[in-house]
Structure 1
Amino acid sequence: MGFPGTWMTQSESVVYRVVPKCACSTIGQVMYYSDHGRFFDGDIHDSTKGLHKWAQEESQPLIEANVKAHKSYAFTCVRNPYTRVLSSFFDKICGIQRNGKRYRGNLVPMLVQKYGVEVGGDDGQAEFDQIASFRRFLLFVRDTIRFRKPMEPDIHWSAMAGHISTFIVNGGRYDHIFFTEDFNDGMQVVLNNMKMKHKVDLKTIPRFNESEGHGPKRLHPVEDYFDDLSRHLMWEIYKRDFQLFKYDFENPANKLPKGPVDLDEVHAKLGD
């Protein structure tokens, strides 16, 4: 199986396991800058040179050798499950993607037809009941993850624990897992542990939020989207994410974790 979703700088200064919707665009650009002294022109997910990625065949033996020998500092980044799944909804379901089309072709029409989800019309700009539509989307998310119907779960809303575990199961070990909500402090720990060709100042670099502007703006506070049933579904889908990464399940309004990630616990629970 190898190391899907794993990126490594060309200089092999650091290894990163991508978790979608968790600042991955900014992290990738920081890694790229640290080697080349400039940012990649475009969405870093589209780069095919300048950064080793598991999806690039020629990078695979280099990443595998590095990770299995733990040659470089390895890290990943997580995010509150409540805000992560909301972000997936507004970006991937309501938004028009950068190719000018809907995400995954017939996915949105199927959601409209089978689950009664509204997405703001053809361009995502019309008014609609965001709360009702999101809750219906969440039911669909549960169906994909629990029953793998009407489709396999998408990487943008499948549990973070699942992404993070592949790295461990296949022989990798994390040195650091930090929070999107405390990005600068967490990423600074990574920078302090890698040899950079070009220094990165986190206070001055732009945030590469490639999904911003794709979809309608969220009109309500996070907690308004999650009634009792929605929270029940969230626990069913993301129980391990809340527990392992210390997020507050009881209070959707609190986006901050309740404590640091216990790396030993993560490796023990996700390594089997």
Structure 2
Amino acid sequence: MGFPGTWMTESESVVYRVVPKCACSTIGQIMFYSDHGRFFDGDIHDATAGMHKWSMEASQPLIEDNVKAHTSFAFTCVRNPYARILSSFFDKIAGIQRNGKRYRGNLVPQLVQKYGIDVGSPDNGFEFDQIASFRRFLLFARDTIRWRRPMEPDIHWSAMAGHVSTFIVNGGRYNRIFFTERFNDGMQQVLDQIETPVKVDLKAIPRFNESEGHGPKRAHDVSAYFDDLSRHLIWEIYKKDFQLFKYDFDNPDNKYPIAEIDLDEVHAKLGD
């Protein structure tokens, strides 16, 4: 299985396990900059040079050797599960992608037909009932994760614990896991632990949100989207995410964690 979703700087200063919808574009660009003194021109997910990625065959032995020997500082970043699934909906389901098309081609028409989801369009200013459509999308997301129907779960809404665990199961160990909601503090703690060819001034780094501006804006507070049934589904899908990464299940509007992450607990519970 190896180390899917793992990126490493060419200088091997640091190793990062990507968790989708958790500031991965910004983190990738910081890693790229820390080696080259410039940002990648485009979406860092499209970069095929200047950085090691598990998806690039030539990088795999380098990443594997490094991770298994715990040579470099290894980290990842997590996000509140309520906010993350909402972001996935507005970006991937309601939004238009960078290529001007809907995400995954026929996925949205399939959701319209099978789950009665309406996501509007650029022509009508993305006018639709956001709350009703999101709750129907949540049923679909649960179906993909629980029963792998009508399709395999998508990386953008599958549980963070699943992404984080593959790194551990195959012999890796995290030195730090930090919160998207406290990004500057967490990323600075990583940078303080590593030696990079180019010094990174975090205050001067822009945010690279590749999904922004391609779809509707969220019109309500987070809690408005989650009735009792929705919260039941969220717990079913993301129970481990709330427990291990210390987010507040009882208050969807509290985006901040309620405790610090216990790295030993994460490795113990996700390493089976």
Q: Shorter-chain TM-score category?
A: over 0.9
Q: Is the 8 A contact 1:90 1:215 kept in 2?
A: yes
Matching of residue 103 in structure 1 with residue 110 in structure 2: no
Conserved 8 A contact 2:77-2:177: yes
Q: Take 1:218 and 1:35, find their aligned partners in 2: how far apart are those partners?
A: 36
Matches within 5 A, 1:143-222: 143-222=143-222
**Is the Cα–Cα contact under 8 Å of residues 33 and 39 in structure 1 kept in the other structure?**
yes
- Matched residues in 1 for 2:156 and 2:124: separation? 19
1:97–1:103: 8 Å Cα contact kept in structure 2? Answer: yes
Mapped to 1, the partners of 2:63 and 2:206 lie a distance apart of 28
Aligned equivalents of 1:92, 1:271: Cα separation in 2? 30
Q: CA RMSD in A?
A: 0.9
SS at structure 1 position matched to 2:149: coil
Distance 2:211 2:182 in 1: 19
1:174-223: CA deviations, max 9, x gaps?
00000000000000011011111111111111000111112100000111
State the alpha-carbon separation in 2 of the partners of residues 93 and 223 from structure 1: 20
Following the alignment from structure 1 to structure 2, what is the Cα–Cα distance between the partners of residues 131 and 221?
A: 10
State the shift of 1:123 in Å: 5.5
TM-score, normalized by length of structure 1?
Answer: 0.99
Counterpart-to-counterpart distance in 2, 1:35 and 1:182: 24
4+ runs deviating over 6 angstroms: none
CA distance in 2, matches of 1:122, 1:201: 38
Aligned residues: 272
Identity value in percent: 81
Structure 1 counterpart of 2:40: 40
Q: Does 1:240 align with 2:240?
A: yes
What CA distance in whole angstroms lies between the structure 2 residues aligned with 1:15 and 1:67? 8
Question: In structure 2, do the counterparts of structure 1 residues 123 and 242 end up closer, same or farther at CA, with 3 Å as the change threshold?
Answer: farther
Aligned equivalents of 1:255, 1:125: Cα separation in 2: 28
Asked if 1 retains the 8 angstrom alpha-carbon contact of 2:126 and 2:215, the reply is: no
Partners of 2:247 and 2:256 within 8 A in 1: yes
Write the distance in 2 (CA, Å) between the matches of 1:222 and 1:122.
23
Q: Note if contact 1:95-1:124 (Cα within 8 Å) is conserved in structure 2.
A: no
Work out whether residues 25 and 44 of structure 1, in 8 Å CA contact, stay in contact via their aligned partners in 2. yes
Deviation at 1:121, TM superposition (A): 2.7
| Corresponding position of 1:52 | 52
Indicate the residue corresponding to 2:18 in structure 1: 18
1:231 and 1:204 mapped to 2: Cα distance?
38
Distance (whole Å) between structure 1 residues aligned to residue 177 and residue 40 of structure 2: 24
Secondary structure at the aligned position of 2:2 is classed as coil
Distance in 2 of aligned mates of 1:185 and 1:51: 24
Deviation at 1:124, TM superposition (A): 7.4
1:118-157 to 2 correspondences below 5 Å: 118-121=118-121, 125-157=125-157
Contact 2:188 2:202 in 1 (8 A): yes
Q: Structure 2: which amino acid aligns with 1:137?
A: F
- Provide the secondary structure at the position in 2 that maps to 1:230: helix
1:167 and 1:201 map into 2 onto residues whose CA distance is 28
User: Residue 45 of structure 1 aligns to which amino acid in structure 2?
Assistant: H
Contact persistence 1:124–1:216 (CA under 8 A): no
Helix, strand or coil at the partner of 2:167: helix
**Which residue identity is paired with 1:245?**
F
1:15 partner SS: strand
SS in 1 for 2:204: coil
TM-score for the superposition, normalised by structure 2: 0.99
Deviation at 1:126, TM superposition (A): 2.9
